[in-house]
Structure 1
Amino acid sequence: MTFHCRSLIVGLTLLLAACGSAERFAVSTPPVTEKVRIAFSSVEVRDVSLPSYAAADEIHLQAADGTLKSSSDVLWADAPERAVALELSRNLAQMTGRAIASEPWPFEAFPSARLELRFSDLVATSDGVFRTTGQYFVAVRDGGRERSGLFDLSVSFDPKGGPNAIAKARGQLILDLSRYIAVNGLK
């Protein structure tokens, strides 16, 4: 192998290493400690619709003037829509002790209810508040009472904690949202 060829390989290796410098942050899911009784034996978390910035891989931070800032070097560990649906399903299953799963529904029998969520906001702010707003819909099989409702929840975090603090706050926020939906939408 010639010197030129070895230099090219070393250069390409360094270039690939530099390109792979993005950090991925997993959401820390707090333990579910509360039990909630719901009216359904099974629930499918059918659709979670996030705003485009919240559905992106990049972790966004909203400045005081409303500007959303992100970096391709700071990413969520999982696709946000998938991750939020799984977090909601897991939290609700642990809270209720019922068969709850995100789509596609993995069981043979149809679920007794379907839950859809449409988020207006799901964003961390530079002043240390992670907030979510939106609407949920509960479709019921066999002619039961269908329902919908609005949500507007927030949790505080230390902005100096960076992306890890944001990921921890999102985990708490989705847990709080799960409880809110169980109490207000699934009873």
Structure 2
Amino acid sequence: MTIPLLALTAALTTACSSPDVRFASPAVAPSAKVSSLYGKLEVVEVTLPTYAASENIFVQGADGAITELGPLWADDPARAMTLQLARDFAAITGAIAAPDPWPFRSFPDAKVDVRLEEMLATEDGTFRISGQFFVAPEEGGRDRSGQFGISVPLPEDASISQIAAARSAATTQLAEQIARRGLR
């Protein structure tokens, strides 16, 4: 009698569950061009706050509460942002840029480390990222660091696709800021 009951439970669970809905952040081509002191850049995996490190997409309400929206990011957010930063640094500076671990035989000229303390949409109509960045040259040069706070406007009643596009735009703005403040 337990096997039919288990089979019925499994069938009901399968019928009631829906497939995960996932959203990718579309690529945004950086428009800035900044010369870099470094020809080869290694981008350390971006660190995120606990809520943002999950696949869930979050929004912060007027009362400050951070809640899940339901749909998921298409890729691990730390991995996706790291790859985008590497791609954007290459486009902005002309340097060879790659995520950690460094895939080439020669060593990178500098490492870029980004640590976010905030990454979310807000009910007041923005997508925000904030945190710190660190640039550590392998030889010579001086270490650099800085703080950032980037807000990308969202339309009223923004869709998840618009939130994903805003995350991509915020990441590109971050790459441009780091290039200007830490790579030249």
Q: TM-score, normalised by structure 2?
A: 0.90
Q: 1:17 and 1:77 mapped to 2: Cα distance? A: 23
Q: Which amino acid in the other structure matches residue 31 of structure 2? A: T
1:57 is aligned, of 47, 55, 69, to 55
3-state SS in 2 of match to 1:74: strand
Q: Which amino acid in the other structure matches residue 152 of structure 2? A: V
Between the two proteins, the alignment pairs up a number of residues equal to 182
- Percent identity over the alignment is 40
Structure 1 segments of 4 or more deviating over 6 A?
8-11
Q: Partner residue of 1:112?
A: 109
2:143 matches 1:170? no
Q: Partner residue of 2:3?
A: none
Question: CA offset at residue 76 of structure 1?
Answer: 0.2
2:66 matches 1:74? no
Map of 1:76-95 to 2, 5 A cutoff? 76-95=73-92
Question: CA offset at residue 143 of structure 1?
Answer: 2.6
Contact 2:88/2:172 (<8 A) preserved: yes
Question: CA offset at residue 20 of structure 1?
Answer: 3.7
Which structure features the higher share of helix residues?
1
3-state SS in 2 of match to 1:180: helix
2:126 matches 1:129? yes
Q: 2:141 and 2:31 mapped to 1: Cα distance? A: 29
Where does structure 2 lack aligned partners over 5 or more consecutive residues?
1-5
Q: 2:45 and 2:28 mapped to 1: Cα distance? A: 23
Question: CA offset at residue 12 of structure 1?
Answer: 5.5
3-state SS in 2 of match to 1:142: coil
3-state SS in 2 of match to 1:89: helix
Where does structure 1 lack aligned partners over 5 or more consecutive residues?
1-7
3-state SS in 1 of match to 2:37: coil
3-state SS in 1 of match to 2:80: helix
**CA-atom RMSD in angstroms:** 2.1
